[in-house]
Amino acid sequence: MLQNSKWLNGLLQLIVVMSLAGCNAAIDIDKALEGYLKGPAKIYRHSLGGAPSSLDPLNSATLYANYIVINIYDTLFRYKYLARPYEIVPNLAVAMPEVSEDGLTYIIKIKKGVFYADSPAFPNGIGREVIAEDLIYSIKRHFDVVNRSQGSWLWDGKIVGLNEWKEAGSNYSDVIAGLKTLDSHTIKITLIAPYPQLIHTFAQGFSAFVPHEAVKHYGRELSVHPVGSGPFKMLRYESSNYALMIRNIKYREEPIDLEFEGYDPILHKKYGIDKIAGKSPPLVDALKIDFIKESASKWASFNKGNEINFTGVPVEQVEKILSQKQPKPILTPEMAEKYHMFNTTETGFVHTDFNMRDPLIGYNDDPVRDKRNKLLRCAIRSAFDWKERNDVFYSGIAVTFPGIIPPVVPEYDPELSNSSTLRNLDEAKRLMLEGGWTTDNVPSLVYGGVASVATRQMYEQFRGWMKDIGYPEEKVIFDSYASFGDFNKAVKQAKIMIFGMGWGLDYPDAQNTLQLFYGPFGAPGSNSSNYNNPEYNRLYEQTSTMQPSTERTQLYREMNNMVIDDCVTISGLSRENIFLWHKNVVSFTDAQIVGGFHLKFVDMLDEETK
């Protein structure tokens, strides 16, 4: 390991930066880095399927940005490395917050002696101590009228005085009643109404502690020059290619307590996780994350040798690398010889929505037509074949479930009938008949999507199913959009009749998916289907201030049943992700909720200890 010496580290950084600056693109950066990080330097090479658009916590809206932001910056809370279901735990916070009985006041203490990584943004280039005021400053930035935050929705209308502060012109010297410091290391947050998901918002990149010095020094360039107190420090960032980070030597010493992290020998020992017990993260000297969008390139890079150490498995390779898909994926012997594998169900789901604002398929002022439309939607859902979709597009290993509460959240109901996810052509035809729908009078179905091969194939598959219930081929139309942005814009303008959507959970609470069907969040909000059921809305509002409880879970499930009964969406399917990493890497990866938090626990084995 490198010496924990500020001087040596500074020198090494200087040498590396100078050498890299002098390198042209043709020179292998990995080798240059290895050359200068002398000794048993550990470099872990991760890969992501896309590049972040910004590393400023204000805009860490994508999975890719969040992955990096939470490794450069600190957040109050994080998720346990190994525990499933997910458990939120203190990160920069000393402990979980003290919450008042009415659920409106949160008092959070942060750790003392935590310093920002050295940066030219600070006087003399030396990072100062992290203080409670930094969090308040960081949240204020989201509500600054000159900033275009993508994360302000997390606290919009939730904290006393925050929205008013924005409306008054975002003067940073003004105090916000609901956001105060009790001392240099204690924060007091006062809410307008109970907000049980608040602590989860403080485990996201959006809530990262940003030093005001860095904002002042870099301005808009903060999006490519992140400065935080996280486990890693950015050394070189090429926005469309890779992020090269080195260990932040000022990162606090916190030896790993495997039991606390949720270690289970049956699940984790095979990955060598026991070897990191007692060590203090981060465990590697350098972390390189390559952004490789093209799955074939990523696969080739992974198989090439040590170019990247980790990859998600492309769908087209699944059949080749597995000797068994069900009931549990198993690698072929030759793959198992070389790689570790972990498969996990995504923390989200895909679904196909009907646009309820479209009178041809959704709500209609004519009560008779309104009822017929519902029968048509239900018929289409009954004709939808989730099994085939799973087999064709998700290698047959994804999980289908009824409604909009996916299996990954604790509120999921395993006892709920799955009849809404099973294809039943007889039932579909019966519903068409009951609704008086015939080949001649059915409305044209316009299926919208991005002009990609996969979306088009999904449309063609959908059209085939519709033909099975008597829909004329020419009445199932594909409405293609040049980019996801165009498609999303059309969805937000409620212009598309039927469309496939995906959702990744921000936190493990079904509220995060139930809000997708809450009436007031209709287009241009997150409720893309524009479902607007007063009873559903009432229950959503009621549960939004409730702490997790059996009662709340029951209400969640009632809401789920409403969505199923009204045939608003054809849902759902949670994809199964398969990850592979090289045998010399000690890791237990997680793509979404734990996400980038797992990277500080990744270790590399020497050849002898492999």
Partner 1 sequence: MSTVLDTSTAEVVEDKIGESMWSKAAYKFRRDRAGMIGLSVVAFYMLVALGVGVGLWGTEWSDNNGQKWEGVSSQYWFGTNILGQDIFERAIFSTKTAFEVGLVVAVISTLIGAFLGALSGFFSNTWIDEIILWLMGVLDSIPFYLFVAAIAFALSGFAYSMHVAMIATFWTTTSRLVRGEVIKLKNFEFVEAARAVGVPQHIIIVRHILPNTFHILLVQSTIVFVGAIKSEVILSFLGLGVKNGVSWGLMIAESTLEVQAGEFSNFYAASVLLFILVMAFNMFSDALQDALDPKKVST
Binding mask 283-302 for partner 1 (x = CB under 8 A): ------------xx--x---
CB-based contact 559:536 (threshold 8 Å): yes
Q: Could you tell me whether strands 88-90 and 77-79 are parallel, antiparallel, or unpaired per DSSP bridges?
A: antiparallel
Nearer to partner 1 by C-beta: 1 or 300? 300
- Extended strands (E) in 322-419: 322-324, 330-331, 339-345, 348-354, 399-400
Q: Tell me, what DSSP letter sits at residue 93? A: B
Indicate whether 452 belongs to the interface with partner 1 (CB under 8 A).
Answer: yes
- C-alpha 604/C-alpha 596 separation (Å) is 17
Nearer to partner 1 by C-beta: 363 or 478? 478
Total interface residues for partner 1 by CB under 8 A:
31
Nearer to partner 1 by C-beta: 360 or 477? 477
- C-alpha 243/C-alpha 148 separation (Å) is 24
Q: Which residues pair with 574 in a beta bridge?
A: 399
Q: Which helix (H) or strand (E) holds 386?
A: helix 386-393
Nearer to partner 1 by C-beta: 156 or 479? 479
Binding mask 310-349 for partner 1 (x = CB under 8 A): ----xxxx-xx-----------------------------
| 65: nearest Cα among 577, 596, 488, 579 | 596
Indicate whether 192 belongs to the interface with partner 1 (CB under 8 A).
Answer: no
Q: Which stretch binds partner 1 (CB under 8 A): 115-123, 220-228, 278-286, 457-465?
A: 457-465
Question: SS3 of 491, please?
Answer: helix
To the nearest 10°, report the CA torsion of 173, 178, 179, 184.
Answer: 100
Q: Which stretch binds partner 1 (CB under 8 A): 223-231, 359-367, 436-444, 458-466?
A: 458-466
Maximum alpha-carbon separation in the chain: 80
Return the residues of window 392-431 that contact partner 1 according to CB under 8 A.
392
Binding mask 63-102 for partner 1 (x = CB under 8 A): ----------------------------------------
Shortest spacing between CB 318 and partner 1, in angstroms: 9
Q: From residue 551, give the alpha-carbon distance in Å to each of 403, 405, 542, 554, 556.
A: 19, 16, 11, 5, 9
| 564: nearest Cα among 413, 445, 449, 462 | 413
Q: 486, 492, 525, 537: which one contacts partner 1 (CB under 8 A)? A: 486
Nearer to partner 1 by C-beta: 314 or 470? 314
- C-alpha 499/C-alpha 502 separation (Å) is 10
Shortest spacing between CB 456 and partner 1, in angstroms: 7
Q: Which stretch binds partner 1 (CB under 8 A): 169-177, 179-187, 450-458, 502-510?
A: 450-458
Shortest spacing between CB 257 and partner 1, in angstroms: 43
Indicate whether 461 belongs to the interface with partner 1 (CB under 8 A).
Answer: yes
Interface contacts to partner 1, rule CB under 8 A: 295-296, 299, 314-317, 319-320, 391-392, 450-453, 456-457, 460-461, 463-465, 467, 473, 477-482, 486
